[in-house]
Amino acid sequence: MPGSGSAEWWFYHIEQGSVDAAIAPLIEKCLERRWRVVVVGHEETVERLNRALWTWKDESFIPHGRARTDAANQPVLLSTEAAPTNGAKVAVLLDGSDADATLFERIMVVFDGGNENARAKARQQYKTTLDAGALARYFQQESGGWKEFKRPEPAAGPA
């Protein structure tokens, strides 16, 4: 969970399409920055992503592997645990997963807005992040991309 001196927490609220389709471009951006990534979810999610990331674009794929096979050499590691065994600086959390924020530079919580449990967990993580004084950013899916919603600055008190 979030803590002071911990990772930045970025929250991605999926409104259209599937989580699978939404996270592939996010992972690709991480790879463009030469960041290693661990994607964390339930076993069935990880297995589904294992198949989907090979074919997410006609002209390319996302190089990845499972935690149980040569984890240290995988640029993108698919796992049921948020452990940076591949040297990941970024954790992508699915299915209401948690991570130790001291192990990562950025944590990306990706959740389906139509799933009440996932939405409630993301809200709880967002609040905990803010309460801990860590940086939290919130993005909501829009046609063709993401729109960041900034938290209003607290009003200044009397001088």
pTM: 0.89
Beta bridge partners of 111: 13
Question: In this structure, are strands 37-40 and 76-79 parallel, antiparallel, or unpaired?
Answer: parallel
Side chain identity at residue 154, one-letter code: P
Are 10 and 106 in contact, with CB atoms under 8 Å apart? Answer: yes
Mean pLDDT of the chain: 88
Nearest CA among 71, 34, 35, 37 for reference residue 53: 37
Who wins on pLDDT, 24 or 93?
Answer: 93
Q: Where are the domains of the chain?
A: 8-149
Predicted confidence (pLDDT) per residue in 119-136, tens digit: 999 999 999 999 999 999
Pick the CATH number of 8-149 from 3.40.50.10110, 3.30.70.260, 3.40.50.970, 2.60.120.10: 3.40.50.10110
Predicted confidence (pLDDT) per residue in 75-114, tens digit: 999 999 999 999 999 999 999 999 999 999 999 999 999 9
| pLDDT value at residue 2 | 52
Sign of CA dihedral 36, 39, 43, 49: negative
- pLDDT bracket for residue 71 (50, 70, 90): confident
Residue 76's SS3 state is strand
Residue 102's SS3 state is helix
Nearest CA among 24, 96, 98 for reference residue 63: 24
| pLDDT value at residue 157 | 46
- pLDDT bracket for residue 69 (50, 70, 90): confident
Are 116 and 72 in contact, with CB atoms under 8 Å apart? Answer: no
Beta bridge partners of 110: 12
